[in-house]
């Protein structure tokens, strides 16, 4: 389980997280949603240890993660923007990550799945955005960890790669893993998420199933249901 309690974070005079409380149970796919500036990226970065809150606690499996790093061995993270060294080849990058993280890996299965065999000897700086995202996905899923965090995972993917990503996420869920996703693609959320968490101005305005949100807003379209939440808060 992941638990955030009374989380506060400011950048200068800007309050990004405002006393946020959130519990995420173990196992399942959870979409963290909200408009730009809502606090969702900061929330994820607090969990990753990349941002330190001014106040509040964060626990993973009942242990505090603040200013600690060992819990990250049980965590896989796909960043929104993959800043790869441009002069490395794909296979050199994969090997470097394997050397830094000495765990059993299944990169070849993923390389085959996303059709990357012909790109292994190419330099990362010469790859298209879509191919870089496939490499990003391989690096994320090639290690077996219980917590997976995906920040805008569909960026640049072609339809076939998107299908493979959805299948991959569902396979990881079937193993009992916890998967957190941030995305602006509501059709993707509608297909894969078990629950959604909607943030606005650093606070949670909805947490529950997609069906519950649609029922609450009386709208069968998820995108319109989210828009309804936003409009009600600013009415």
CB 179, CB 172: distance < 8 Å: yes
Give the residue extent of every domain in the chain.
Answer: 2-233
**Token pair of 55, please?**
């106040």
pLDDT score at 55: 95
Give the Å distances, CA to CA, from 182 to 68, 128, 198, 215, 232.
Answer: 24, 22, 10, 22, 22
Q: Please tell me the least confidently modeled range out of 38-52, 66-80, 158-172, 192-206.
A: 66-80
Percentage of residues in the chain having pLDDT higher than 70: 99
pLDDT at 235 over 80: no
Buried b (16+ CB within 10 A) or exposed e, 84-114: beeeebbbebbeeebeeeeeebebeebbebb
Which class does domain 2-233 fall in? alpha beta
pLDDT score at 38: 87
Per-residue pLDDT band for 102 (boundaries 50, 70, 90) equals confident
Mean pLDDT calculated for residue range 205-229 = 92
pLDDT score at 172: 96
pLDDT at 234 over 80: no
pLDDT score at 133: 96
Mean pLDDT calculated for residue range 199-228 = 92
- 14 vs 97: CA distance, rounded Å: 36
pLDDT score at 163: 97
Buried b (16+ CB within 10 A) or exposed e, 151-166: bbbbbbbeeebbebbe
Percentage of residues in the chain having pLDDT higher than 90: 80
Whether pTM exceeds 0.85: yes
pLDDT score at 70: 82
């Amino acid at each position: 389980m992941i638990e955030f309690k009374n989380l506060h974070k400011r950048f200068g005079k800007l309050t990004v997280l405002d006393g946020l409380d959130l519990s995420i149970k173990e196992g399942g796919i959870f979409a963290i949603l909200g408009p730009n500036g809502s606090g969702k990226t900061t929330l994820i970065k607090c969990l990753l240890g990349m941002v330190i809150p001014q106040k509040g606690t964060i626990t993973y499996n009942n242990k505090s993660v603040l200013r600690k790093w060992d819990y990250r061995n049980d965590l896989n993270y796909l960043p929104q923007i993959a800043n790869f060294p441009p002069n490395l080849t794909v296979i050199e990058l994969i090997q470097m990550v394997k050397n830094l993280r000495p765990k059993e890996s299944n990169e070849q299965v993923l390389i085959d799945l996303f059709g990357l065999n012909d790109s292994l000897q190419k330099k990362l700086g010469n790859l298209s955005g879509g191919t870089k995202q496939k490499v990003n996905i391989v690096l994320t899923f090639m290690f077996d960890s219980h917590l997976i965090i995906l920040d805008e995972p569909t960026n640049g993917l072609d339809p076939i790669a998107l299908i493979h990503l959805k299948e991959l996420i569902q396979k990881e869920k079937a193993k009992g893993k916890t998967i957190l996703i941030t995305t602006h693609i509501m059709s993707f959320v509608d297909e894969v998420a078990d629950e959604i968490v909607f943030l606005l101005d650093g606070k949670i305005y909805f947490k529950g199933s997609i069906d519950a949100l649609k029922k609450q807003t009386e709208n069968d379209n998820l995108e319109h249901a989210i828009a309804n939440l936003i409009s009600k808060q600013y009415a």
